Structure formats: C-alpha cells, structure tokens
Structure 1
C-alpha cells in the first residue's frame, strides 16, 4: 500500500536543507564589530591628532632649517611627508570603523586609501632603513661617509626608494579592494584578497622584502655601531662625549623600538596565518582570531606615524632646540594673551565700579 503523505515529507526536507547549509558554511569574520566600532575610531582619531601635530611640527622645523639640510635630514623629511600623506586617509577609515566595517564611499576611494596606506608602510620601512645605514657610515666608516653622505647621493637614494615604493603599491589600483557582503561593504580587508592566486606565497614574500630584510639590515647596523663605539670609547674615553656617536646610537635604538612595537606584531600575524593556509584550511575560529588580530596589529603599524617625528628628534641636529623654542614661544604668547585679557577684564571691572560710585547720589536718594 502506498503512503500519500510521502511527497510533503520530501518537500519539508528539501526546504530545511536549503536553509541550513548556508548557515553551516557561513563564518562571520566581523563578530567583534561592536567592540571595534568604538575602540578603532578612538585609536585612529588619536593617531590623526598626534600624527598631524607631530609631523606638522617636524615639517616646520625642516622648513626653518632648509638651508642646512643633509642626508639624515632628507631621509627624515621623506618619512615625515609620507606620514602627513597617510593622515589624509584617516578620516574615511575612522568613519569606516565607526559604521561597523561598512564602506559607503565607493570603490575608487577605497583603492586610493589602500594605496596611501601601503605607501606609508613601505616608505616608513625603507626610509628608516636608509637612516640606519646613514648612521652606520657616519660612525663605522667616517672617511667614506663624507663621500656617500653628500646631499646629491641622498637625493638619488630617496628617488629610488619612492620608485621602489610605487612599484610595490601601484598594482593595488587594478585590484578590487571592496567587497559586498551580507550587511556591509568592506574595504581593504584580508578576505577581499583571498581570490588572488598563490596569496600565501605573495604575502610571505612581501613580509620577507618589506620587514625581515630591512630588520636584519637595521640590526646589523646597530651591532656594528655598538661595537665601533665600544672600541672607540676603550681607546679614547673622550670620544664617548661625541655628539655624532650619541646621535647615531639613539637614532638606531629608536628605529628598532619602532620596528618592534609597530611592525613586528602585524608581520608575525601574517606569517603564522599564511603558513597555516599552506598546510590546511584554517577553521572558522582561527579565521576570526586572525581577522581580529589584523585589525589591532594594523592599528599598531599605523601608530608609527606618531613615532616617526621622534626619530627626527634623535637624528637631526638642533631639532630639540628648535622645538623647545617654538613651544616656549607659543606658551609665552598664550601667557601674554591670558595676562593681557585678565588685565583688560580687571580694568573694565574697575571702570564699571568707578562709574557706579559716581552715578550714586550723595544723599542716597533718587
């Protein structure tokens, strides 16, 4: 005997399968959006304010000392200009994070902000490496240094660095950076790049060229400078007081600090996740952890925008003196304005009191 209800049962199973399969395969990489939409805009607003102030101040000092420019100043100037360019892209990124990883500004602006972001990253790494090499020749090979240090050579090196940076970043303009998702349009997020063939190998190569090799060069320069200073101090204790030596060691120490704080967490996150992807397909929980880690390590990497002016502070002669002079002048102007305002207010109050006394009749009657 046949069972008539069989057809409806099949229909129910089909409908259930259609609804459950997508939900099973879906992995929400933005589960942390409620926290991120508060923290990330605050973090990036801090970078924007401090970055504009610090790099703007550095640019003012550079302009005032433009006649005394040397190779160290030139590398630092390019670093500052890269940071100022980067701050122009921050308002849209702040809005993006505040909207819960939603980009309402279109694909063109998304590509442009991504280009600016990567320009700042690669330019920062390369010019910090140039500064370290510059300090290395200043201390370890001072006789050769006079020839290499010439401003003409430094200009050519800066042009080459910018050519290298643009050759690394301009291909991004032909790559789609935004992606339409269920609740949002994301911009410059890692999942948007996953369709690129051999992505893990590309990112590992980028980490090698953009982080590991520059870090090895900087550490090599630091070790050679340290050995040279130790040897020189042993032979002649008076050389310990040399301004060049002290400036060189301070510059490279601070460059290493910037590398460790700003660039290391991001590149470690990328390297370990790409190695995982080459071995197996990461679980949803692993992908979520990686995405969350990227958002906060990228913030740390962008924080170099605020720390770069301190490199200029250590590397360039007279910078501290100029900064203190500018700040003292501003404080003096502010104090003078406050005193003048208080004096005018006091004079006005005394005048009003005097007029009130004169206007009162002597007998106390109207």
Structure 2
C-alpha cells in the first residue's frame, strides 16, 4: 500500500465513493489561527481588565456584577485552551498533544459555551426583575440568593460537560490525529437526537427566555415613560435595556449560526443520509461557526460595560487618562520644538 501523505486525511465512505471532509484545510490553516489569535489577545485584555475592575469594586458587588464576574471567569478559563487550538489549526487539523489534553480542551470549550449562555440568561432575568418587578421579587436579586443561583448554574454546566471526559475526542486519520471534530462523534448512538436536545436546552430555551425578558422590559419602560416622561432619564432603566439588547446581539451573532448549522444537519440525518457535498458544507460551516461562537469571549466585556457602572467608569477614566497623556505629550513636543526653533533663530541673529 502506498504511504499516506501528511497532508491527506481519512476520507469518509459515502455511497461506494470517498468524501474528503477537510477540503478547505489550506484556507483554514491561515484564517482560523489568525482569528483565534485575535480572540486570545482581545479576550485576555478585555476580560482581564473587567476582572481587575470587579476586584477593585468587590465591596459594592450586586447580583448583576456577580453574574458578570462568572462570565469573566468563564472567558478567562476559555483563553487557556486557545494556544493549543491555534497550533491545531495551524498544523492543518493535526493534534500532537495527546488524548488527555484533547479531552480537557474540549471540556473547557463546552464549559465556556454553556456557562456563557446560562449567565447571559441570568443577566437578562436579573434585569427583568429590576425593571418589571423591582419590589415584588427583590429577594431573588439579593447577593446571597444570587450566589446560590451561580452555584446551581455551575453545577448544571458541569453536569452537561463532565461526561465528555469519558468520551474519546481524538481520532487517528492516516498520519494525523484530529481533535474535537464532528466525524469523531458519529459512532455515538442516537447522535442526532442528542445534539438536537443539546440545542434545545443550550440555545432555544435560553433565547426564548431572553426575548421574553426583553419584551417585558420594553413594554414596562414604554408604559412608565408614557405615565412619567422624567422616568426615561432613569439610569436603571437605561442600563437594563442596554444590557439585554447587547445580550441579544451576542446571541444572534455568536450562537445562532452554529446552532442553526447543527439543527438543520441533524434533521437531514434523521430523514436520509446526507450526500458528500452536504457533509463537506456542514464540516466547513462547523469550523467557521464554532470560531464565531467563541468570539463571544471578546464581546462579553461590552456586556460588563453596559451592565456594571464601575467597569464603565474605569474604562472612561483610563481613556481620558490616555487622551490627556497624549495631549500633554503633544503639547510638550510642540513646546520643545518651538524652543529649539527659537534657539536656532537667536543663534543666527547672534552670528549676524
């Protein structure tokens, strides 16, 4: 048998033919490492700054800040898995780090996904109670109860993701080893139903809850503004609407493309065996929609900006300081330049 070249992948058998699911590897080897490198840099800087601000204002912590803090921790945990993923894509879908590390990075990836969705949902519900029922359900927003909710969310996240540690995540294909790729999961029984159930619990239900909260908040603000025009200037109302709008934007941009790709392909698999071109399109869409889903790590700091007053003030203070430093540096440079010009002019006059 001829030796398999390092750039060739195992081809999936489909209707007595072969189907290369990694035909886009040459493009992906460039685009995905660059994209994930940007996510790593922006994610570390943005979430690191958010964590520093939250730590400095820890005495003023409330339910909103607590949910935001858990989002920060989830994103920072996720960035620890990015260097190996960047290397994996740069090597052309080759994982040289072993099965154990593949499972750990997969666990971190799914922890970030489910934690982000759940804590964004908690933020939306928190804003809903703050605006629509500010007194009736005030106990739910107490910091003690919010801590219990966070513990429950993490328990839910780990119960969804820990089974991944007993599931093989890597697969040897020729001289390469792929990690956390969809073909590696196809041997699981009833996979379409499992993934559709995961989409229902991890995307559809949270999205419906967030949209419900947004609708109720909008109606409440409209009604309040109609009864009392001065209420439109309320900081709480403005913060609530900005927070939940941005949460919806993150959901639409980051999570929707991936889940739509999963849902439509799983429905196809329940009806018939997808053709080679359909499988190739799905595999390609997974790589790019997953990277888009991971982009939420960069967008979460904007949620903190809208939701947490301390974070917003700190950012604006840093920006003002940078502007003042730049202005003073420019003024000092201009002064020094004018002084040099004046000295040169006086020297010319003295010589004359």
Q: TM-score, normalised by structure 2?
A: 0.89
Change (3 A) 1:179 1:232: same
CA distance in 2, matches of 1:79, 1:34: 34
Change (3 A) 1:238 1:277: same
Query: What is the CA distance between 1:108 and its match in structure 2?
Result: 0.6
Q: Partner of 2:345 in structure 1? A: 354
CA contact (8 A) 2:14 2:275 kept: no
CA distance in 2, matches of 1:356, 1:243: 61
Query: What is the CA distance between 1:326 and its match in structure 2?
Result: 2.5
Change (3 A) 1:52 1:241: same
CA distance in 2, matches of 1:50, 1:285: 35
CA distance in 2, matches of 1:202, 1:290: 17
Query: What is the CA distance between 1:57 and its match in structure 2?
Result: 1.1
How many residues are matched? 340
CA contact (8 A) 2:54 2:310 kept: no
Q: CA deviation digits over 1:11-56, x for unaligned, max 9?
A: xxxxxxxxx9999532211000000000001111111111111111
Change (3 A) 1:348 1:97: farther
Query: What is the CA distance between 1:327 and its match in structure 2?
Result: 3.5
Query: What is the CA distance between 1:228 and its match in structure 2?
Result: 0.5
CA distance in 1, matches of 2:116, 2:243: 14
CA distance in 2, matches of 1:22, 1:253: 44
Change (3 A) 1:332 1:183: farther
Query: What is the CA distance between 1:183 and its match in structure 2?
Result: 4.2
Runs of 4+ in 1 over 2 A off after TM superposition: 20-26, 326-351, 353-360
Change (3 A) 1:93 1:335: farther
CA distance in 1, matches of 2:128, 2:26: 47
What are the residue-to-residue correspondences of 1:26-175 with 2, within 5 Å?
A: 26-175=18-167
Query: What is the CA distance between 1:330 and its match in structure 2?
Result: 4.9
Change (3 A) 1:359 1:243: closer
Secondary structure, aligned partner of 1:104 = coil
CA distance in 2, matches of 1:325, 1:243: 19
5+ residue gaps, structure 1: 1-19, 361-366
CA-based RMSD: 3.0
Relative to structure 2, which stretch is displaced further, 186-195 or 336-345?
A: 336-345
Change (3 A) 1:235 1:33: same
CA distance in 1, matches of 2:136, 2:316: 34
CA distance in 2, matches of 1:158, 1:75: 7
Query: What is the CA distance between 1:328 and its match in structure 2?
Result: 3.4
CA distance in 2, matches of 1:28, 1:21: 9
Relative to structure 2, which stretch is displaced further, 22-31 or 126-135?
A: 22-31
Query: What is the CA distance between 1:195 and its match in structure 2?
Result: 0.6
5+ residue gaps, structure 2: 1-11
Change (3 A) 1:307 1:22: closer
Secondary structure, aligned partner of 1:349 = helix
Q: CA deviation digits over 1:220-260, x for unaligned, max 9?
A: 00000011111111111111111111111111110000000
CA distance in 2, matches of 1:21, 1:141: 57
Change (3 A) 1:148 1:98: same
- 2:274 corresponds to which of 282, 305, 319: 282
CA contact (8 A) 2:243 2:306 kept: yes
